[in-house]
C-alpha cells in the first residue's frame, strides 16, 4: 500500500474524493456534509471561519498535521492492549477506527450493528452547523449502533478505541435505550503517536430509561481527540455522563443534550487534568424543552505547565420548561503561572418558574489545608500533591460504579506517574 500525505481541509476533501464510492450510507448526506465542511473549514486554521463557539480553541494544529491514507493495517499493539482495563465486562473494540471482532466480546441482550454495514447516520447530528460533525459525516467509515430493548438492564459495556501513529478516523456511534432500559457504558480511548480521533455520538434515552456514560480519554499526548455528542432524553429518562480528559494535544468534548420529556435528568460532569502544552475544551449545550427536568454539571480542571482548558456551558430553558432545575459549576486549580482557563457560562431562560445557577472558581491551593497537612509532618511537596489529587477525586465521586471508578483512579495515578517521570 502506498501512503499519501494529506494536510488541512484540502487533504480531508481529497481523501473523501478518493473514498466516496466505497463509504457506507446515503451518498447525498456525505456530499452535503462535504459542502458544509468545505465552507466551514477547520476553526482556527487559516481558511476556517471565525466562530463564537470556537473562540478559545484553534484546530490549526489539526490542519497542519499529516495523516496517512489509507490507514495502516494495525493488528493491535500489545503494549496498548495491555493498557486496557482488566475488568470483566463485554467490550466493543475499534482499532484505528475499524471494528475488531477478535478483540471484542459482544454483550448479550443488546443489539449491536456496525456502521460499516449499515451506514446509519441518525437524525440528531448537525453537520451544517458543526465543522467537525461535517468532517465526520463526510468520512465516517465505521462505528457501532447499540440498541437496548425495552426494560432490559444491559449492565456494563466497554467501548474502546485503540489508535496508532498518523491514523485519522471518524467513528459514528448511535446508542438507543428503549423505554425502561438501562446501560452503563465505559468509553475508553488510548493510542500511540500523533493521530486524529473525531467521533460523533447520537444518544437516545427513552422514557424511564437510564444511561450512565463514563468517558476516559487517555489518548497519546500528541493526538487529537475531537468528540461531539448529541443526546435526546425522554420522560423521566436519565443521561448521567462523566468525562475524564487526561491525554491528547488538542481535545474538544462537545455535548448537545436536549431534555424533551418531563422530569428528565442530564448530568454532564467532567474532569480535565492537563500538563505541558495540552489544550482541552469542554463545551456543552443543555436544552430544557420540557417541564420539571434537571441538569447538573460540575467540571473540574487541574492545569499545570503551559496547558489551557476551556469550559463553555450553555443552558437554554424554553417557555414550556417550568420547574427547571439547572446547575453548573466550573472549578479550576492552576498549578503553574503559565496555565490558562477560559470559562464561559451562558444561561438563556424563557420560562419564569425555574431554578438555574452557575458559578466558576479559579484558584491555587488552599493555604489553610496546606498548613494543616504540614503540621502533621507531611512535607510541602507531598502535601500539595495530596490536595491536587483530592480536588480531582471530588469530581470523580460522581462515578458510583466501583469497577469503573477503579479504572478512572488508576488512569489518574498513571497520569501522575508520567508527570513525575
CA atoms within 13 A on the CB side of 272: 32
Q: Which stretch binds another protein (CB under 8 A): 37-45, 218-226, 239-247, 362-370?
A: 362-370
CB 364 within 8 A of CB 333: yes
Does 350 contact another protein by CB under 8 A? no
Does 387 contact another protein by CB under 8 A? yes
Binding-site size, another protein (CB under 8 A): 24
Among residues 109, 363, 379, 414, which is the contact residue for another protein, using CB under 8 A?
379
Q: Which is nearer to another protein, 21 or 402 (CB)?
A: 402
The nearest distance, CB 273 to another protein, in angstroms, is: 14
Q: Which is nearer to another protein, 292 or 362 (CB)?
A: 362
CB 167 within 8 A of CB 97: yes
CB 128 within 8 A of CB 196: no
The nearest distance, CB 374 to another protein, in angstroms, is: 4
Q: Which is nearer to another protein, 338 or 366 (CB)?
A: 366
User: Hey, which residues between 393 and 412 contact another protein (CB under 8 A)?
Assistant: 393-394, 397
**251: exposed, middle or buried (C-beta count within 10 Å: 0-12, 13-18, 19+)?**
buried
DSSP 37-98: HHHH--TTSTTSPP-GGGSS---HHHHH-EEEESPPP----HHHHHTS---SS-EEEEETTE
CA distance 243 to 187: 9
**Is the alpha carbon torsion for 370, 374, 378, 380 positive or negative?**
positive
User: Hey, which residues between 129 and 188 contact another protein (CB under 8 A)?
Assistant: none
Partners of 190 in beta bridges: 162
CA distance 75 to 73: 6
CB 245 within 8 A of CB 188: no
DSSP run (H or E) holding 238: strand 238-245
The nearest distance, CB 388 to another protein, in angstroms, is: 10
Q: Which is nearer to another protein, 19 or 369 (CB)?
A: 369
The nearest distance, CB 81 to another protein, in angstroms, is: 31
Torsions phi, psi of 322, nearest 5? -70, 160
The nearest distance, CB 392 to another protein, in angstroms, is: 8
Does 372 contact another protein by CB under 8 A? yes
Among residues 1, 367, 420, 421, which is the contact residue for another protein, using CB under 8 A?
367
Among residues 352, 353, 368, 417, which is the contact residue for another protein, using CB under 8 A?
368
* C-beta neighbour count of 418 within 10 angstroms: 12
Q: Which is nearer to another protein, 350 or 372 (CB)?
A: 372
User: Hey, which residues between 28 and 47 contact another protein (CB under 8 A)?
Assistant: none
The nearest distance, CB 303 to another protein, in angstroms, is: 17
Q: Which is nearer to another protein, 337 or 377 (CB)?
A: 377
Residue ranges binding another protein (CB under 8 A): 367-369, 371-380, 382-383, 386-387, 389-394, 397
Amino acid at each position: 500500500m502506498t501512503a499519501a500525505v494529506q494536510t488541512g481541509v484540502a487533504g480531508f476533501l481529497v481523501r473523501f474524493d478518493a473514498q466516496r464510492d466505497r463509504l457506507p450510507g446515503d451518498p447525498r448526506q456525505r456530499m452535503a456534509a462535504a459542502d458544509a465542511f468545505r465552507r466551514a473549514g477547520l476553526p482556527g486554521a487559516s481558511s476556517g471561519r471565525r466562530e463564537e463557539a470556537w473562540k478559545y480553541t484553534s484546530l490549526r494544529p489539526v490542519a497542519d498535521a499529516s495523516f496517512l491514507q489509507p490507514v495502516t493495517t494495525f493488528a493491535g499493539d500489545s503494549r496498548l492492549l495491555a493498557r486496557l482495563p482488566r475488568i470483566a465486562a463485554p467490550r466493543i473494540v475499534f482499532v484505528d477506527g475499524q471494528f475488531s471482532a477478535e478483540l471484542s466480546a459482544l454483550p448479550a441482550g443488546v443489539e449491536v450493528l456496525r456502521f460499516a454495514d449499515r451506514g446509519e447516520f441518525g437524525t440528531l447530528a448537525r453537520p451544517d452547523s458543526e465543522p467537525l460533525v461535517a468532517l465526520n459525516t463526510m468520512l465516517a467509515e465505521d462505528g457501532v449502533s447499540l440498541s437496548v430493548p425495552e426494560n432490559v438492564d444491559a449492565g456494563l459495556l466497554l467501548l474502546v478505541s485503540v489508535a496508532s501513529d498518523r491514523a485519522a478516523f471518524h467513528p459514528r456511534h448511535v446508542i438507543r435505550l428503549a423505554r425502561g432500559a438501562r446501560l452503563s457504558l465505559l468509553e475508553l480511548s488510548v493510542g500511540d503517536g500523533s493521530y486524529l480521533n473525531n467521533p460523533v455520538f447520537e444518544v437516545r434515552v427513552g422514557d424511564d430509561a437510564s444511561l450512565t456514560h463514563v468517558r476516559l480519554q487517555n489518548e497519546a499526548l500528541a493526538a487529537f481527540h475531537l468528540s461531539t455528542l448529541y443526546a435526546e432524553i425522554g420522560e423521566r429518562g436519565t443521561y448521567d455522563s462523566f468525562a475524564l480528559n487526561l491525554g491528547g494535544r488538542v481535545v474538544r468534548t462537545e455535548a448537545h443534550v436536549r431534555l424533551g420529556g418531563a422530569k428528565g435528568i442530564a448530568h454532564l460532569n467532567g474532569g480535565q487534568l492537563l500538563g505541558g502544552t495540552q489544550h482541552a475544551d469542554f463545551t456543552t449545550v443543555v436544552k430544557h424543552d420540557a417541564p420539571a427536568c434537571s441538569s447538573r454539571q460540575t467540571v473540574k480542571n487541574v492545569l499545570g505547565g503551559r496547558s489551557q482548558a476551556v469550559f463553555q456551558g450553555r443552558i437554554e430553558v424554553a417557555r414550556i420548561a417550568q420547574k427547571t432545575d439547572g446547575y453548573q459549576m466550573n472549578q479550576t486549580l492552576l498549578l503553574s503561572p503559565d496555565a490558562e482557563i477560559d470559562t464561559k457560562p451562558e444561561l438563556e431562560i424563557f420560562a419564569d418558574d425555574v431554578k438555574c445557577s452557575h458559578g466558576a472558581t479559579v484558584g491555587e491551593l488552599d493555604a489553610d489545608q496546606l498548613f494543616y497537612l504540614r503540621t502533621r509532618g507531611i512535607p510541602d511537596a507531598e502535601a500539595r500533591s495530596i490536595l491536587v489529587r483530592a480536588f480531582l477525586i471530588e469530581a470523580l465521586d460522581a462515578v458510583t460504579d466501583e469497577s469503573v471508578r477503579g479504572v478512572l483512579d488508576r488512569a489518574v495515578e498513571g497520569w501522575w506517574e508520567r508527570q513525575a517521570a
